[in-house]
Amino acid sequence: MKILFVCMGNICRSPTAEGVVRARLLEAVRKHGSEMDIELDSAGTHSYHVGHQPDRRAMEAASRRGVDLSPIRARLVEERDFSEFDLILAMDRDNLIHLEEACPPEYRDRLKLYMEFAGNSAFDEVPDPYYGGLNGFERVLDLVEEAADGLIRHVLRQKQSSAA
């Protein structure tokens, strides 16, 4: 399974989701003792920061929770992403709309809001922390972690049903 996380510039929310889910997947692999063939990536709908590391504030907040975002580099969503990724998860509705406009019709069922995996969350979007204070990056992490667990459960169910 291949999962792509998408926000506007690919320096705050989507790399945070990529890093948190990667860390949680490693925990799940250790816990369940089986390999999971899952590829994760993140991208932006706008090219403002292509090639840059995640925002320093995002990296610092993630690091305090044991998640390393430093290997991630911003990139733009590409046309081939729609056919290559099984799930393309937008952080908010604005980015979902950008994805829907660019996505060929046969792949639209792969597009979802990331927070759909959070279950009973009061939030359906991950807010952009870029112009806010440091608390915004902590809030992003809270939400990303909340949805990460639901996403991993979804991936495990998919794996079990395909093995059956």
Q: pLDDT over 70 for what percent of the chain?
A: 96
- Which residues form the domain of 156? 2-163
Average of per-residue pLDDT values in the chain: 93
Beta carbons within 8 Å of 31's beta carbon, 6+ residues apart: none
- Tell me: pLDDT of 138 over 90: yes
Mean pLDDT computed over 40-67: 97
Number of separate domains in the chain: 1
Find residue 87's DSSP bridge partners: 3
Which residue of the set 13, 57, 75, 110 is catalytic?
13
CATH of the domain at 70: 3.40.50.2300
Q: What is the pLDDT of residue 159?
A: 76
Which residue of the set 7, 55, 92, 103 is catalytic?
7
Mean pLDDT computed over 41-67: 97
> CA-CA distance, 21 to 118, in Å (whole number)?
13
- Tell me: pLDDT of 123 over 90: yes
User: Catalytic: 75?
Assistant: no
Which has the higher per-residue pLDDT, 37 or 123? 123
pTM for this entry: 0.95
Which residue of the set 81, 94, 128, 139 is catalytic?
128
User: Catalytic: 142?
Assistant: no
Sheet holding 2-7, edge to edge: 39-44, 2-7, 87-90, 111-113
pLDDT in tens, 64-111: 999 999 999 999 999 999 999 999 999 999 999 999 999 999 999 999
User: Catalytic: 128?
Assistant: yes
